[in-house]
Each structure stands twice: as structure tokens, then as C-alpha cells.
């Protein structure tokens, strides 16, 4: 009976992980509105800022005044008393997109957001679904999930750049490098730090490489 209950629990967590990670597909709305719907960049930036300004008071209400609100149904156990994933994720999107075309081209901003979020989803789903071997220096991550995240980040970034008309072999390596290094660390300042730090570190890396004269479009 114990083994059966454990299997049911694992299956439930995996299905819940699929549901949670499917929300990451919303990141595709950014390139969709810019490249295909032809929205101006400032419209996208202000929309993201507006969404964040709506989410912040909702999150304050959830954490400080009504912890039992229905909104908690959208969060993981670790988020019940901490800032929720959707707030941290949106914060990362806002920071990265506000720098677009000021410090780095918009396609790098989009690449940083799209590839790191979808690559992280691949890592979580593969790791949760078929991961068996523990990743060294971590407690909860698996080698299978790690490989899926690294390979997925690069392939997603490579295909994405082709789709928006800026193919590059090198550029997808930037988010892949960031994810590949920082996925070894589980105790970053926020438990969900990857949602903020992965895309931000990617654009910072691109920015500084551009300063030192690296050709990012090879």
C-alpha cells in the first residue's frame, strides 16, 4: 500500500508540474506581439510594467492579509509564505525587456526570456518524469533533468532565433551557459531565483561581450 501511495503521490506531483510549467508558454506572447502582431516595443514594456503593478498588491494581499485566498491554489507549497513564482517571473521579464534596444538588441532580450524559461521547464519535466540519477552537489535535481535543461535551452534558443529571422549558432550558448552553471546551485537568494537571474544574467553577459567587441551574431 505504501508503494502504491508513493506512486500516486509522484504521479500527482508530475501532473501538477506539467500544469505549472505550461504557464511558462505565456512567455511566447512577448515575441508574438512584437514580431507577428507588430506592437511597438514601448507598448510591450508598459504592458509588462502594468501587469507587475497589478500583481504586486495582489501578492501583498495574499501574503499579509489573506493567506487562505484562492490565489494560493496557484502556488506551490514553497510559495505559500514567499513571493509567488508569477511575481518573480514577471519582475524578470520587466527588467530584461526595459533594457531592450538600450543596452542590447531586443532579440537578445527575447532569447534570454524564452530559452531560459522553456529550457527550465524541460529540465523540470524530464527530471520529474524520468530522472533517476542524482545530480552531484544537489539534493533534488537529476542528471537527466539537467541534461534536458541544457540541451533544451540551446535548441529552443537556436530555433527561436531562426523563427524571428536572426539565426545564430553562438547566441543560444549564452542562456545555455547561464543555466548550465547556475542549475548546480539550489540555495540562491530566492528559492525561485532562476526565474529572475537566468534571463538577467544572459542579457548582462551579452551586453558585456558586446562592449569587449565580441561578434554575437556568428
The predicted model scores a pTM of: 0.82
Query: What residue segments make up the domains of the chain, in order of their start?
Result: 2-211
H/E/C letters for each residue in 21-49? HHHHHHHHHHHHHHHHCCCCHHHHHHHHH
pLDDT digits 0-9 by tens, 153-173: 999 999 999 999 999 999 999
SS3 100: strand
pLDDT of residue 112: 96
pLDDT of residue 26: 86
Count CB-CB contacts under 10 A for residue 53: 11
Q: Which residues of the chain have pLDDT under 70?
A: 1-23, 70-81, 131, 137-138, 185-193, 217-218
Amino acid at each position: 500500500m505504501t508503494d502504491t501511495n508513493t506512486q500516486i503521490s509522484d504521479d500527482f506531483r508530475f501532473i501538477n508540474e506539467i500544469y505549472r510549467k505550461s504557464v511558462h508558454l505565456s512567455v511566447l506572447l512577448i515575441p508574438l506581439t512584437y514580431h507577428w502582431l507588430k506592437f511597438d516595443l514601448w507598448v510591450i514594456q508598459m504592458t509588462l510594467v502594468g501587469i507587475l503593478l497589478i500583481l504586486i498588491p495582489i501578492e501583498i494581499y495574499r501574503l499579509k492579509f489573506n493567506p487562505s485566498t484562492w490565489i494560493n491554489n496557484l502556488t506551490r507549497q514553497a510559495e505559500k509564505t514567499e513571493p509567488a513564482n508569477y511575481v518573480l517571473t514577471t519582475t524578470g521579464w520587466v527588467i530584461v525587456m526595459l533594457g531592450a534596444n538600450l543596452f542590447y538588441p531586443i532579440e537578445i532580450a527575447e532569447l534570454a526570456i524564452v530559452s531560459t524559461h522553456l529550457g527550465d521547464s524541460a529540465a523540470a519535466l524530464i527530471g520529474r518524469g524520468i530522472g533517476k540519477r542524482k545530480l552531484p552537489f544537489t539534493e533534488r535535481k537529476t542528471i537527466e533533468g539537467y541534461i534536458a535543461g541544457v540541451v533544451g535551452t540551446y535548441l529552443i534558443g537556436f530555433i527561436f532565433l531562426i523563427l524571428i529571422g536572426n539565426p545564430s549558432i553562438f547566441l543560444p550558448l549564452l542562456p545555455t551557459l547561464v543555466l548550465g552553471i547556475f542549475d548546480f546551485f539550489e540555495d540562491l537568494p530566492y528559492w525561485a531565483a532562476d526565474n529572475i537571474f537566468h534571463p538577467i544574467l544572459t542579457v548582462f553577459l551579452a551586453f558585456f561581450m558586446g562592449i569587449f567587441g565580441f561578434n554575437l551574431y556568428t
